[in-house]
């Protein structure tokens, strides 16, 4: 388990707040032991929350050309046919994973191939499970074409708490299944759009692991 690079600033701010809070308490409330210990406990809880949110576990992805690996830790909240109107412009199977604040927020490539399309969209901050969050929230859209020529589209979607999406991809990049392509802070969602007829290996409500769970199997 390592600490993700996207959390360095947040951790530094957390430590600064803790130091200032404790210094203030010791200076003004040195005779109130119960209050000082309450601040110690609050400081510890705040530190643990930041550390656990930005944790980045070491995982080993078993790569397979026909498999679609889950791009994020979380819960499957959508499995349905939907029209993809931004790039593919046809009907697809949409599978959505909701990441709560306690999940690992690293995002990983679901398939290997070449990045054919990337776009960042500023937008709203509706709750991540809202039906319109996929098209109206702050988000990125990535399309990777597999070695079999199958385009797989996936989106990072900011939620009500998430205010920053980070991505590490651009058009023309080589995508390796299981490698990190981004990070979303403080609650969010990832949508994957697959060809109709794709075998889906998960069910609504399933808890899934990014880079490990086989979300679906593509038809070669």
The residues that are catalytic are 188
Q: Cα–Cα distance between 88 and 85 in angstroms, integer? A: 6
User: Which of 141, 100, 99 lies closest to 123 in space, CA to CA?
Assistant: 141
Cβ neighbours of residue 109 under 8 Å, at least 6 residues apart? 69, 71, 144, 175, 176, 177, 178, 179, 180, 181
Segments in 84-159 forming alpha helices (H):
133-136
Q: Check: CB of residue 99 under 8 Å from CB of residue 207.
A: no
SS3 of 170-198: the string is CCCCEECCCCEEEEECCCEEEEEEEECCC
**Tokens at residue 124, please?**
């709203």
Residue 180 CB coordination number (10 Å):
19
Q: Cα–Cα distance between 193 and 79 in angstroms, integer? A: 10
Residue 102 CB coordination number (10 Å):
12
């Amino acid at each position: 388990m390592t600490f993700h690079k996207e959390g360095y600033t947040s951790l530094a701010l957390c430590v600064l707040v803790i130091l200032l809070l404790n210094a203030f308490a010791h200076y003004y409330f040195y005779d109130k032991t119960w209050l000082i210990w309450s601040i110690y406990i609050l400081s510890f809880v705040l530190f643990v929350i930041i550390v656990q949110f930005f944790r980045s576990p070491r995982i080993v992805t078993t790569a397979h050309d026909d498999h679609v690996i889950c791009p994020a830790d979380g819960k499957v909240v959508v499995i349905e046919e939907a029209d993809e109107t931004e790039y593919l412009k046809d009907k697809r199977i949409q599978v959505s994973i909701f990441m709560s604040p306690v999940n690992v927020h690293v995002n990983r490539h679901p398939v290997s191939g070449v990045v054919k399309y990337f776009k960042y969209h500023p937008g709203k901050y509706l709750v991540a499970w809202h039906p319109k969050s996929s098209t109206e929230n702050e988000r990125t859209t990535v399309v990777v074409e597999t070695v079999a020529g199958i385009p797989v589209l996936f989106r990072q979607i900011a939620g009500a708490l998430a205010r920053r999406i980070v991505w590490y991809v651009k058009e023309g990049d080589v995508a390796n299944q299981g490698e990190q392509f981004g990070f979303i802070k403080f609650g969010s969602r990832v949508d994957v759009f697959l060809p109709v007829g794709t075998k889906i290996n998960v069910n609504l409500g399933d808890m899934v692991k990014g880079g490990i769970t086989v979300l679906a199997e593509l038809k070669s």
